[in-house]
Amino acid sequence: MFDNICKFLAENFSTDFATWLLGEPITLTELSPKELSLEPIRADALILLQSDEVVLHLEFQTQPDANIPFRMVDYRLRTYRRFPRKRMRQVVIYLQQTNSELVQQTTFTLEETFHRFQVVRLWEQPTNVFLQSPGLLPFAVLTNTNSLVETLRQVAQEISNISDQQTQNNVAASAFILAGLVLDQNIIQQLLRREIMRESVTYQAILAEGLAEGRAEGRVEGRAEGIQEGIRLVAINLLKEGTSVEVVAKVTGLTVEQVQQLEITNPENTGK
């Protein structure tokens, strides 16, 4: 779930990420893993963005992963094979604070082979940087802040200032989800529901409702069918809250076409 939201933000607010990580507000477009023949190696979690001169490779992690160094050197070599003249910036972004030594690793070494990549531990980053761009707002509460509640309140205020309603809804939905890594659901509801979404509930509440109904269905129809029903209900609830088709697809794992079909077949539940 968190991977999906981070991928959505990176792909839809690529200029914000380029400004933060590359130091220049260049426009980046998505690079399909298929171009690098990456399907066998966890390509679903890979975020590749590119311009004419640079490839930005992002990995968002909630938990430490001992395989990260190998993945980074493997992606670098595959990218070089495809784009030998492009420079590449590789960044592993850890979302949740941990004392594991794995989040300190920035190199891969194998005999005479040596590769270095960048690591960002969000809990060490200054909060102010993440309050300046819409695409980074959902991460602010995960940064080095003295008050999680006050930071989330600032995020809520900044989101309420976004003029485009669809963008506001998308950023708000992402903030709901990521805040769940560090704050209680009730606190998130108090701040974000009141200040941004009015009658909306947080994604965690929507997810709980959908999965609860799905489990109930599962007792009758079988576990697998129940899980699918839960996912479908989560998607319908998100659509009802005004979340875009693209966000719903990213969060639930459904295809855009499947989500669009839910809009058509359930107009009374999705506000259409």
Domain spans, the chain = 2-124, 127-197, 203-270
Band (170; pLDDT cuts 50, 70, 90): confident
DSSP annotation of 32:
-
- Residues 252, 235 contacting (CB under 8 angstroms): yes
Q: Does the structure show a pLDDT above 80 at 158? A: yes
Can you tell me which residue has the tokens 């030594």? 101
Mean residue pLDDT across the chain? 81
Q: How distant, in Å, are the alpha carbons of 55, 132, 240, 263 from that of 28?
A: 8, 19, 31, 30
pLDDT reported for residue 205: 45
Name residue 61's beta-bridge partners: 94
* Structure confidence by residue, pLDDT tens digits, 55-87: 999 999 988 999 999 999 999 999 999 999 999
The pTM assigned to this predicted structure is 0.73
H helices present in 42-184, as ranges: 68-82, 148-160, 165-179
Q: Does the structure show a pLDDT above 90 at 142? A: yes
Band (208; pLDDT cuts 50, 70, 90): low
Token representation of residue 226:
């129940």
Band (197; pLDDT cuts 50, 70, 90): very low
Look at 1 and 203; give whichever has higher pLDDT.
1
Band (189; pLDDT cuts 50, 70, 90): confident
pLDDT reported for residue 201: 38
